Amino acid sequence: MSTIQGKVVIITGASSGIGEATAKELASKGAKLVLAARREDRLQKLQEEIQQNGGQAFYKVTDVSSHEQMEKLADYALKEFGKIDVMVNNAGVMPLSPVHQKKINEWDSMIDINIKGVLYGIAAVLPSMRERKEGHIINVSSIAGHLVFPASAVYSGTKFAVRAITEGLRIEEASNNIRTTIISPGTIATELLESISDLELKSEIIEVSKIGIEPASIARSVAFAIEQPSDVAINEMIIRPTIQEL
Q: pLDDT digits over 51-65, tens only?
A: 999 999 999 999 999
Residue 205 phi/psi, 5-degree rounding, is -70, -40
**Separation between Cα atoms, residue 136 and residue 230, nearest integer Å:** 9
* Largest CA-CA distance found in the chain, in angstroms, rounded: 53
Dihedral sign of CA atoms 240, 241, 245, 246 in order: negative
Across 9-16, average pLDDT: 98
Q: What is the pLDDT of residue 53?
A: 97
The answer for residues whose C-beta is within 8 angstroms of residue 56's C-beta and 6 or more apart is: 27, 31, 32, 33, 50
The predicted-structure confidence for 173-201, as pLDDT tens digits, reads as follows: 999 999 999 999 999 987 777 778 878 88
Q: Is 155 a catalytic residue?
A: yes
The answer to whether residue 210 scores a pLDDT higher than 90 is no
CA 235 to chain centre: 15
Residues listed for the chain: 246
Dihedral sign of CA atoms 186, 192, 194, 200 in order: negative
User: Could you tell me where the DSSP H helices lie in the chain?
Assistant: 17-28, 40-52, 67-81, 104-110, 117-132, 153-173, 199-208, 215-227
**Separation between Cα atoms, residue 47 and residue 61, nearest integer Å:** 12
Q: What is the pLDDT of residue 179?
A: 98
Closest alpha carbon to 99 in 46, 152, 48, 20? 152
**Separation between Cα atoms, residue 239 and residue 135, nearest integer Å:** 23
Q: What is the pLDDT of residue 160?
A: 98
Q: What is the pLDDT of residue 124?
A: 98
State the chain's mean pLDDT as an integer.
96
Confidence class for position 223, pLDDT limits 50, 70, 90: very high
Which run of H or of E encompasses 9?
strand 8-12
The predicted-structure confidence for 29-38, as pLDDT tens digits, reads as follows: 999 999 999 9
Provide the 10 A C-beta neighbour count for residue 39: 13
Domains in the chain with CATH codes: 8-239 (3.40.50.720)
Q: What is the pLDDT of residue 203?
A: 83
Q: What is the pLDDT of residue 22?
A: 98
pTM above 0.75, yes or no: yes
Across 102-128, average pLDDT: 98
Q: Which of 59, 76, 120, 155 is catalytic?
A: 155
**Separation between Cα atoms, residue 22 and residue 16, nearest integer Å:** 10
Confidence class for position 1, pLDDT limits 50, 70, 90: low
